[in-house]
Structure 1
Amino acid sequence: MGRVKLSAISTKAPKGSDKAKLKAKTARIIEELDELQNRLIAESKHSLLVIIQGMDASGKDGLLRDVFGSLNPLGVSVKSYKAPTAEELSHDFLWRVHQHAPAKGMIQIFNRSHYEDILITRVHGWCNDDTAVKRMKAINDFEELLTEHNNTHILKFYLHVSPEEQQVRLKERTHDPRKMWKYNEKDFEEAKLWSTYMKYYEDCFQHCNKVPWHIIPADQNWYKEYLVAQKVYDTLKALKMQYPGLKK
């Protein structure tokens, strides 16, 4: 992936997209994911790591619920990464991440991830450029370790929401009773740093792309869910997994 300019990428579905048809297709894909997940668990030769990044209110939580919520909970795990604890800070930055890498047969989802250590940390000046370069090399090596030595397939999604839509969603949290629990006044302050975040996201896409990034237009939840579900389906389907026979 060359240099990505996020401002040049649409945050919406292409004109003429049929919302009803795509929602119906998404539902069918999710039904088929159930069978693919069963094969993943039964065969236990592969694992899937789904990394979800995005600005506040880009729809990460909703995506997890609507695309992955109906899968067998015995074979899927979600880890949300927030500010590191004192114990985590006493180790290298990947320590808290590696212990949640998926075992064979599992789907592991990271809601935010190790990429926060070269994103928010750079935005706020907690990590300088020299350190960020070293961390990006470590991230590439880490992802190569998982893919080359543990048969882990990695999907990296950036939920590409517009600043205008982000503001709408953040303001909803101030008056919608179903969303008030998500309200954090600091989110509005972080939103003011939009251009800086975009700068470091673009740098991340350029230098941490041995495993490719998928930029997902996220202003419309139905389109975002369709794209992610389709990519997960395509990835698992391509593994040509089979149920093992009777153990002898």
Structure 2
Amino acid sequence: MKSINPDDFKVVGKMELSKIPTNLFNASDEEEKEAKLDKVQAKLSELQDVMYAHNKYGVLICLQGMDTSGKDSLIREVFKEFNPRGVVVHSFKTPNSTELEHDYLWRHYLALPEKGKFAVFNRTHYENVLVTRVHPEYILNENLPGIEKVEDITPEFWENRMEQINNFEKHISQNGTIVLKFYFHMSKEEQRIRLLRRLENEEHHWKFSPGDLKERAYWDDYMNYYQDAINKTSTAIAPWYIIPADDKEMARYIVAEIIWAEMQKLTDIKEPELDQKVKDNFDVYRKELEG
């Protein structure tokens, strides 16, 4: 199987989603993909242990994609070897009444990772320039000055919100949070197959929601808004990676390899040195414990 180069998936400059494949390495062996993912899982787990001791960086993993694109299963598989205290997953749903009393980024600030830990946003602050663009009436719930009706939401409003998101990511990056953003690029046909599977398999019935079909009707709108948002917010400090998602196992492996490769660039992450005075007294401490 071909090795993974993060640069092959990173968005640099303008891209068109319609020209990017939703599947790669069709002939890849399932066992080979699982074995390679297992190796990366173990390396990431060890890295997080060292990060915790180093206590300088937090890592924010942002996952976006259409319904059934594989975000939940990726979280389960990629991070399952982590110390449970080393990774926290946040799934952002419709803002509640308390969250709506604050600006739209407030709840995301609260969920940022502590130093030494990973945080995974399953759906992210980008919902505020994706779902709300498909359904602009949701913006009215934010009770914003000057926005009394949908017609008050201008193109400039969305441009400003993109800039605010870039500033948010710049701010947290400059304060020690590594930001990696992944868009799960799935075909509409693959989504149809996965939704049918939920209907046909009783054990997956709980996953099905009629709302998935409602949102599927807006597929082209979502693709346009995803493309626009990714193009305007993929930066050097908070890059977007477009992950072919028709093959779930391959998508998991690609994401894991990208996280590992990007973290290797932080050459200062290492376990802290114990104070020399403490080292010099090891024999004293040992005798005290043995006694």
Q: TM-score, normalised by structure 1?
A: 0.95
CA contact (8 A) 1:36 1:237 kept: no
**Residue 158 of structure 2: which of 127, 132, 150 is its match?**
132
Candidates 197, 216, 236, aligned match of 2:243: 216
Among 202, 205, 208, which residue is 1:177 paired with? 202
Q: After TM superposition, list the pairs within 5 Å mapping 1:158-177 onto structure 2.
A: 158-177=183-202
One-letter identity of the residue aligned with 2:205: M
Residue of structure 1 equivalent to 2:170: 144
1:102 is displaced (CA, Å) by 1.2
Partner of 2:258: 231
Alpha-carbon distance between aligned partners in 2 of 1:233 and 1:47, rounded to the nearest angstrom: 14
Match of 2:271 in 1: 243
SS at match of 1:13: coil
Give the match's secondary structure for 1:228: helix
SS of match in other structure, 2:224: helix
- Gaps in structure 2 of 5+ consecutive residues: 1-11, 140-152, 279-291
CA distance in 1 between partners of 2:29 and 2:105 (Å) = 42
Distance 2:89 2:214 in 1: 27
How many pairs align? 247
Max Rg structure: 2
- Match of 1:101, SS state, is coil
1:39 corresponds to which residue? Answer: 50
User: Identity over the aligned pairs, expressed in percent?
Assistant: 40
The verdict on how the C-alpha distance between 1:16 and 1:168 changes in structure 2, with shifts beyond 3 A counting, is closer
Residue 181 of structure 2, aligned match among 156, 175, 189: 156
Q: What do you get for the CA RMSD once the two structures are aligned? A: 1.4
Deviations 1:199-248 (A, max 9, x none): 00011011111222100001111110110010111122222321112255
Local SS of the residue matching 2:38: helix
One-letter amino acid of the structure 1 residue matched with residue 121 of structure 2: F
* Aligned match of 2:34: 23
Counterparts of 1:103 and 1:31 in 2: how far apart (Å)?
Answer: 21
Distance 1:122 1:15 in 2: 34
- In structure 2, distance between residues paired with 1:133 and 1:145: 18
Give 1:15 shift.
Answer: 4.9
SS, match of residue 70 in structure 1: coil
Q: Secondary structure at the match of 2:121?
A: strand
2:231 aligned partner? 206
Q: Which residue of 1 aligns with 2:219?
A: 194
